[in-house]
Amino acid sequence: MSRALAFLTRRRGHGGRWHWTDVVTWVWLLGGTVLMFGPALWLVASSFKGPAQLAEFPPTLLPYAQIAVPVAGHDAPLPLYEVTGPDGTTRQLAEIRRIGTNAQMVDPAEPGTRLDVDIAARRPVREVGLALDNYVRPLVANDFLRFLWNSVFVTVTATLITLLTNSMAAFALSKYRFRGRDAVMLLIVATLMVPLSVILVPLYSVVNATGLVDTLWGVILPTVATPTGVFLLRQYMLTIPDELLEAARMDHASEWQIYWRIVLPLAAPALAVLAIFSVVWRWNDFLWPLIVLSRRETYTLQVGLNTYAGELNVQWHYILAMTVVTMIPVVLVFVFLQRFITTGIAGAGIK
């Protein structure tokens, strides 16, 4: 602990004085932290706010919830307000119902007497609390569990197929010498320059002709072959020594076994990187699923989120809550797979 403190308070200036670079470092790092984490944290905090609080100005940082108290003679707990009387005294009253600009209220201590209060003279009593309904309602009533499942299915399937097909292409392009290999590679890389919006219409025609419109496979299949993936894996596989493959050939391994038992395990770091990319891409995909999917049962999360943004009314509390839900898997993928990015195991048996 004391060492951690010593590390944090270490300065470049002599004798514990502040050098100007110390100041710049702290400002830079703190500013960066706020810039990076601020929006995400605010999103999480706001996702627990009710619709009324979200519409408030100035906005509050933490989510608050109005306190409700049980009152004798009423089935449900009633919301509590702090009412300022005409004489300047304040007391806490529960609201029974609102009529115009007035509210019929009751003192929880004496449930018998009803009071008529101007709504301008009262202020809701709040405490820090979570509007969990933001999460519960979309997930339970609005099919979001279904959307979540669709998204998971699309992401996992597309990523697995991406890894398989791209690694096979990369293996051939990096380890076999054949006529036109470089031309094929160039062609694949060249498709990087074609944006989705250009091929949207022809792609839709193909998907339509194959009867995949409105199915999850229609979302998955057009995306699995990515030039980025082929290029990334090929560059990595070039670093796997040919002698390993030749040793395997002497060891009676078929070309398929060489791919499956030698090249794939050694390309694991690159595969992990591509897996991370693929998961993030497929999970965050919006435009293509929006075009292909029109039945509500086939929506992915991103398309489902879009249903909360109507022409007249945007249900921010649901959008924010479901945005947090959509963020979780991406964060988890990074947490668990990031160590693969930095470790390289190929070449270890060589020299």
The residues of the shown chain that bind other proteins, judged by CB under 8 A, are: 241, 243-244, 246-254, 257, 261-262, 265-266, 268, 345-351
Cα separation, 251 vs 80, whole angstroms: 80
> Is 125 within 8 Å of 90 (Cβ atoms)?
no
Shortest distance, position 254 Cβ to other proteins, whole Å? 8
For tokens 């309904």, the residue is 133
> Minimum Å distance from CB 265 to other proteins?
4
- Nearest alpha-carbon partner for 270 in 319, 234, 222, 221: 234
Shortest Cβ 240–other proteins spacing (Å): 10
Two tokens at 81?
């307000």
Residue nearer to other proteins on the CB measure, 7 or 256: 256
User: Which DSSP category does 312 fall into?
Assistant: S
Give min distance, CB of 166 to other proteins, in A: 20
Between strands 78-84 and 68-69, the pairing is antiparallel
Nearer to other proteins, 271 or 324 (CB): 271
Which CB atom, from 111 or from 344, has the smaller least distance to other proteins? Answer: 344
Kindly give, in sequence order, each residue whose CB lies less than 8 Å from that of residue 301, ignoring residues fewer than 6 positions away. Answer: 144, 147, 148, 150, 151, 283, 322, 325, 326
Q: What contacts 238, CB < 8 A, 6 or more positions away?
A: 174
CB of 350 to other proteins, least distance (A): 5
In the complex, what is the shortest distance from the CB of residue 245 to other proteins, in angstroms, rounded to a whole number?
A: 9
Q: Rounded to an integer, what distance in angstroms lies between the CA atom of residue 60 and that of residue 53?
A: 8
Structure tokens at 205: 């025609």
Name the packing angle between helices 144-175 and 268-284 (round to 10°): 140
State the minimum distance, in angstroms, from the CB of residue 30 to other proteins: 41
Q: How far apart are the first and last CA of the chain?
A: 42
Please report how close the Cβ of residue 253 comes to other proteins at its closest, in angstroms. Answer: 5
Task: Between 205 and 254, name the residue whose CB sits nearer to other proteins.
Answer: 254
**Least CB distance to other proteins at residue 349 (A):** 4
User: What is the rounded CA–CA span in Å between residue 270 and residue 281?
Assistant: 16
Nearest residue (CB) to other proteins, 65 versus 248: 248
Burial 135-171 (b: 16+ CB within 10 A, else e): beebbeebbbebbbebbeebbebbbebbbeebbbbbb
Identify whether the C-beta of residue 109 lies closer than 8 Å to the C-beta of residue 80: no
C-beta closer to other proteins: residue 214 or 255: 255
Nearer to other proteins, 10 or 351 (CB): 351
Residue with Cβ nearer other proteins (66 or 257): 257
Of 189 and 247, which CB lies nearer to other proteins in the complex structure? Answer: 247
